[in-house]
Amino acid sequence: MRVLVTGGAGFIGSHLSDALIERGDEVMVVDDLSGAGREYLNPKADFVQFDIRSEDVAELIRQRRPDAISHHAAQMSVSRSVREPLFDEDVNVKGSLNLLEAARQVGARFIFASTGGALYGETGNRPTPESHRAWPVSPYGVSKLAFEHYLHCYRVEHQLSFAALRYANVYGPRQNPHGEAGVVAIFCLKLLAGQDAVINGDGLYYRDYVHVDDVVTANLMALDSEVVGHFNVGTGQEASVNEVFAALVSELKVDAHAKHGPARSGDLRAASLDSSLFQRTVGWQPQISLVKGLADTARWFQERHQNAG
């Protein structure tokens, strides 16, 4: 299979590129390197440095005619989307639509990295299924949902094949401190540097943390299937920020105590995803427990810290 991965130099995209190449697929990576350097680029991938909003990337798709596009490039910061909603819309809607129109022209299947918590918001129905109404309260969530509607439209009008994967809080090796689930990377980096890791508010904010390896498996299964629609990708389990902090302190064996700062305005108290639809449809289910995943992630950051020193 010939797969174009946007955002393939970043956290999730680089892991996915590695997995695709390992199983023998031909991989093209498009990334503007604004959120990552070249460190995680697989040398066996055909890399092109393009902005997804450019005509160049649309022309690349028309020339190379990939079988599928896995779209992970994005403006991924909720807080930035609030500060700069026009920029968020420009990247996450217009940039994505630029790719989608080119995908339509060549008949490529489209796999979209969407979001769960930012779409559903605070719900009384947890873990939250796809059937729950989506009324996002951040421009980031609005832009992700808007593009899901474009995907549906292109399915109806042009018979385009797509799957929108609504991620829970993805964490793991290579994670950067930005985006929805950046708290794991932030804690690791601060603790290893001997700096205070500040917990916003009381730390009793509960999230569904899913390991990047499980997310990669979800993407591979979506690429290999013909399922169409939007699907949650999460564990259905919730852990508090305080629990994540304590687990990382224990694994890194550092002398650190929780330091609490002001609560962030707009933070959801709790969010988790019901992924049973995706499990029934393609057979996916998470394999990595939070305990094991946090331990592996902490060790990865620790090794990087030691090598850098």
Q: At what angle are helices 96-106 and 55-64 packed, to 10 degrees? A: 20
Contact (Cβ atoms closer than 8 angstroms) between residue 14 and residue 7: no
297: left (phi over 0), alpha (psi -120 to 50) or beta: alpha
| Paired tokens of 65 | 């005619």
Structure tokens at 175: 């994670």
Whether 171 is catalytic is: no
Catalytic residue among 40, 120, 140, 209: 140
User: Is there a contact between 302 and 252 (Cβ–Cβ < 8 Å)?
Assistant: yes
Rounded CA-CA distance 126/114 in Å is 19
Q: CA 100, 82, 174, 110: dihedral to nearest 10 degrees?
A: -10
Please give the angle made by the CA atoms of 155, 74 and 212, to the nearest 5 degrees.
Answer: 90
In 47-95, alpha helices (H): 55-64, 78-83, 85-89
- Residues 66, 161: Cα–Cα separation, whole Å: 13
Q: Could you give the residue numbers annotated as active site?
A: 140
